[in-house]
Structure 1
Amino acid sequence: MNRLPQRERSGTWLTYSEQKHHVHLSHAYTTLEDTARTNESQ
């Protein structure tokens, strides 16, 4: 997330906010059955 310019981290349909990042990350960890990391991401 820190690599993205600030203007691309806002919460719009066309950008990738930190909240979206954690939603996608927790879904990936859930799929991999890594509950510890899922909980960290949430």
Structure 2
Amino acid sequence: MYIPKYFKVTNVDEIWDFVQKNSFGTIVPQNEGNQLPLICPWG
């Protein structure tokens, strides 16, 4: 996926802060029946 330079976030701490504050995750399996783990490091 193309991300324009001015939208690209490379600071890992900033990314984790955003995920923790918004509390969401997205899982997209490739085939029906696949199981994917979602690891929640903050609890």
TM-score interval for Structure 1 and Structure 2 normalised by the shorter chain: under 0.3
Query: TM-score when scaled to structure 2?
Result: 0.26
Q: Which of the pair is proportionally richer in helix?
A: 1
Query: TM-score when scaled to structure 1?
Result: 0.26
Q: Which has more radius of gyration?
A: 2
